[in-house]
Structure 1
Amino acid sequence: MVGVAHGTRDPRGAEATRALLARVHALAPELSVHESYVEITEPSLRTVLAAVPAPAVVVPLLLGAGYHVQVDLPAAITASGGGARLAPALGPHPLLALALHERLLEAGWNGEPVVLAAAGSSHRRPRRDAQRTAALLERRLGVSVRAAYASAARPTVAEAVAAWQGRAAVASYLLAPGFFHDRVVAAGARVTSAPLGDHDALAQLILLRYTTTSPAR
């Protein structure tokens, strides 16, 4: 399995990716798990695919099916020539709602409305994916959940928090700390959850994406 994250100049991002993939490997120690990135951080997906035995399964460590999942990753797989298979993006999925719920509880959430804070995108598909995750989380929590964005789309997280007159908690719908999570925290909610990180439910979801895409099935 080759996990491919976005990539960032913030070292906390790569640390979080490694911790998450280590959790995946702990759940399935028989599985060979490799780390790669779409951009900025090394090793790149193309580099890793050139080194691992075929057929590999590439699992996007991405929460929505945006440009990277639709264009960049298929192009890298085609260029590798190794016949790797591409799994779907992680979200939306009920296991993400579970992880978000538990991160909120860890942060001190006590039943107030929730703003689901996604990274944001100018493309419609990942925004729709975030809205579907907000609906899953709303069903799980039994309170109102609204999707908002740290960049490239509206409402912004700060706008969504202000709309609740400061009474909403923020669920960070991000995989790792860094630039976007810092923006989410700056929205000033009383409660802001930590990023999903190496939550066990997220590791389970990655394994599910792998097993349902693996050519061995």
Structure 2
Amino acid sequence: MISQINRFVNNGAGLEKTLRLIQSSAQVASVFTVNSTAVRLTTAKLQLALTRRFFRFFGFIESFQRVAALLNRDAMGSISGWLDMAKWTCFAPRNGRLRRPWEERIMREANTYWFYALCFSLLGTLYALFFSSNESQSKGKGKRGGRKSEKAAAASKIDSSALWTAFVIDGCDLLIPAELLDWMPTGDLVIGSTMIISTLLAARRIWNKV
């Protein structure tokens, strides 16, 4: 257990999720505190948010790589390909930025693209759940062989579970840019709570890999 914790916090993605969990917990705690304690928690939340941006500073490179891979794969011939293309194109401007007082307009544009990216991601997940999964199930039924069919069904259930997890994560995170853009003000308690949920779900996937 200790060795896995060590691997998790020494992994870049795992460390970022650890900081995010602390940040969201501080955000929730600040709602229930007053005076100097609330100020300290709010300051910690802002500092952790700034620190986490360094982890995403070169994230636009991955987004461009994903777009290039989709183009090389000729993914434009399918709906899922178009949704993935739109998602990663919108994710690129969201990364690679640091906050400065004079960057308010840039931050707003970045959060707008982040909102659109999450919307496309949610649509892509729904498409995979209700269309791609049905296609794979119909193909599996057409094949003969009991064991192969059972393995295919088990794999389909695992994929479906992973897709629903991704859907919940993106749905929770969607509230953050909506709040920052004043499109759907929900408050620190709701944002912090949904951040905790999405962070724990995303951290579990990383935990299983390290």
Question: Could you tell me the TM-score, scaled by structure 1's length?
Answer: 0.25
Larger helix share, 1 or 2: 2
Greater Cα radius of gyration, structure 1 or 2: 2
Larger strand share, 1 or 2: 1
